[in-house]
Structure 1
Amino acid sequence: MTSQLSADTQFPPTVLRPGYDRNDLQPGILHFGLGAFHRAHQGIYTQRALQSEFGPWGIVAVNLRSPEPVEALAAQGGLYSVTVRDSHGETSEVVGVTIDWLCAARDRKRVLAYLANTSIHIVTLTVSEKAYGLHPATGGIDETHPAIANDIANPDAPVGAIGYLVAGLAARRNRGMRPFTVLCCDNLPSNGKVVRKLVLEMAERHDPRLALWIETEGAFPSSMVDRIVPAATDDTRLRARSLLGVNDALALDTEPFMQWVIEDEFISARPSWEAGGALFVKNVEPYEKMKLRLLNGSHTMIAHLGLLKGLDCVRDVMADPEFVAMTRDHMRVASATLDPVPDIDLDHYMNQLIERFSNRAIAHRNIQIAMDSSQKLPQRIFSPAVEALAAGDDGASFARVVGLWIAALIRFKDCNDPRRDELLSAAQGADPQDYTASFVAIEGLFPRPLATSRPWRDLVNREVAAWL
Structure 2
Amino acid sequence: MPAEPHLQRSDTPRPKVGIVHLGPGAFFRAFNAPFTAEAMEKSGGDWGILTVSLRSSDIREKLKPQGCAYTAVKLAPDGAEYTVVEVIDDVLVAPENPEAVLTAMADPQVKIVSTTITEKGYCHNPATGALLMDHPDIVHDLSHPEAPRSAIGYIVHALNRRRLAGHAPFTLMPCDNLPNNGPLTRSVILDFARALDPELAEWITDNGRFPATMVDRITPATTPVDIASLATAQGYIDNACVMHEPFRQWVIEDDFVNGDRPDWGGVGAQLVNDVEAFELMKLRCLNGTHSTLAYLGYLAGYETIADTVADPAFANLINALWKNEITPTVPEPEGEDLLAYCAALLERYQNPAIRHRTWQIAMDGSQKLPQRLLGTVVDNLAAGRGIPGLALGVAGWMRYVGGVDEKGAAIEVKDPLADQLRAAYDSSDDPEEKVLALLAIKEVFAPELAGNPVFRNAVTDAFMRLSHDGARATVQGFS
TM-score under structure 2 length normalisation = 0.93
Distance 1:96 1:444 in 2: 40
Name the amino acid aligned to 2:286.
Answer: L
CA distance in 1, matches of 2:321, 2:283: 13
Structure 2 residue 455 is matched with structure 1 residue 456: yes
Within the alignment, does 1:149 sit opposite 2:139 as a pair? Answer: yes
Partners of 1:282 and 1:74 in 2: how far apart? 38
For 2:257 and 2:318, locate their aligned partners in 1 and report how far apart those are by CA, in whole Å.
Answer: 41
Q: 1:184-333 residue pairs with structure 2 within 5 A?
A: 184-268=174-258, 269-332=260-323, 333=325
| 2:449 matches 1:447 | no
Which whole-Å CA distance do the structure 2 matches of 1:29 and 1:148 have between them?
A: 24
The aligned residue for residue 11 of structure 1 is: none
Distance in 2 (CA, whole Å) between partners of 1:232 and 1:409 is 25
Q: Does 1:135 align with 2:125?
A: yes
Whether 1:164 aligns to 2:154 is yes
Q: Tell me the residue number matched to 2:90.
A: 100
State the Cα distance separating 1:434 from its structure 2 match: 4.4
Amino acid at match of 1:423: L
Corresponding letter in the other structure for 1:31? H
Q: Distance in 1 between matches of 2:331 and 2:144?
A: 42
Question: Would you say the 8 A contact 1:49–1:273 is kept in 2?
Answer: yes
Instruction: Write out aligned runs for 1:370-449 (5 A).
Output: 370-410=362-402, 411-412=404-405, 414=411, 415-430=413-428, 431-449=430-448
Aligned to 2:108, the other structure's residue is in SS state coil
Unpaired runs of 5+ residues, structure 2, are 468-479
- Contact 1:155–1:206 (CA<8 Å) still a contact in 2? no
Correspondence for 2:66: 76
TM-aligned CA deviation for residue 24 of structure 1: 4.2
Residue identity opposite 2:416 in structure 1: P
Whichever residue aligns with residue 335 of structure 2, its letter is D
Which runs of 5 or more residues in structure 1 are unaligned? Answer: 9-20
Q: Could you tell me how far apart the structure 2 residues matched to 1:442 and 1:449 are?
A: 12
Q: Supply the distance in 1 between the matched residues of 2:216 and 2:205 (Cα, whole angstroms).
A: 29
Indicate conservation of the 8 Å contact 2:332/2:338, yes or no: no
Alpha carbons 1:308, 1:467 under 8 Å: kept: no
Corresponding residue for residue 472 of structure 2: none
1:25 shift after superposition: 0.9
Deviation (angstroms), 1:300: 0.6
One-letter amino acid of the counterpart of residue 183, structure 1: M
Change (3 A) 1:136 1:301: closer
Q: Retained in 2: the 8 A contact 1:402–1:460?
A: yes
Query: 1:464–1:26: structure 2 CA closer, same or farther, 3 Å change rule?
Result: same
Query: 7, 10, 13: which is aligned to 2:9?
Result: 7
Q: Tell me the CA shift for residue 135 of structure 1.
A: 2.4
> How many Å separate the matches in 1 of 2:23 and 2:456?
37
Q: TM-score with structure 1 length normalisation?
A: 0.95
The percent identity for this pair of structures is: 39
Moved over 4 A (4+): none
Match of 1:14 in 2: none
Of 319, 327, 346, the residue aligned with 1:354 is 346
Q: How many Å separate the matches in 1 of 2:269 and 2:284? A: 21
Distance 1:320 1:307 in 2: 13
Aligned equivalent of 2:50 = 60
Distance in 2, matches of 1:344 and 1:194, equals 25
Match of residue 51 from structure 1: 41
1:176-199 CA deviation, whole Å, 9 max, x = no partner? 000000000011111111111111
For residues 331 and 144 of structure 1, the distance between their equivalents in structure 2, rounded to whole angstroms, comes to: 38
Aligned length: 456
Letter in 2 for 1:118: P
CA-CA distance at 1:445 after TM superposition: 2.2
Letter in 1 for 2:305: V
Which is further off, 409-418 or 285-294? Answer: 409-418
Corresponding residue SS for 1:436: helix
- Find the aligned partners of 1:130 and 1:352 in 2 and give their Cα distance: 29
Q: Secondary structure at the match of 2:83?
A: strand
Q: 1:24-55: CA deviations, max 9, x gaps?
A: 41110000001000000001101110110111
Residue 344 of structure 1: aligned partner: 336
1:414-454: CA deviation from partner (whole Å, max 9, x where unpaired): 52111111110111124224442111222332123421222
Q: 1:138/1:466 Cα in 2 relative to 1: closer, same or farther (>3 Å)?
A: closer
Root-mean-square deviation (CA, aligned residues, Å) is 1.4
Q: Is the 8 A contact 1:313 1:363 kept in 2?
A: yes
Q: Which moved more, 1:254-263 or 1:195-204?
A: 195-204
**Secondary structure in 2 matching 1:29:** strand
Which deviates more, 344-353 or 450-459? 450-459
- State the one-letter code of the partner of 1:321: P
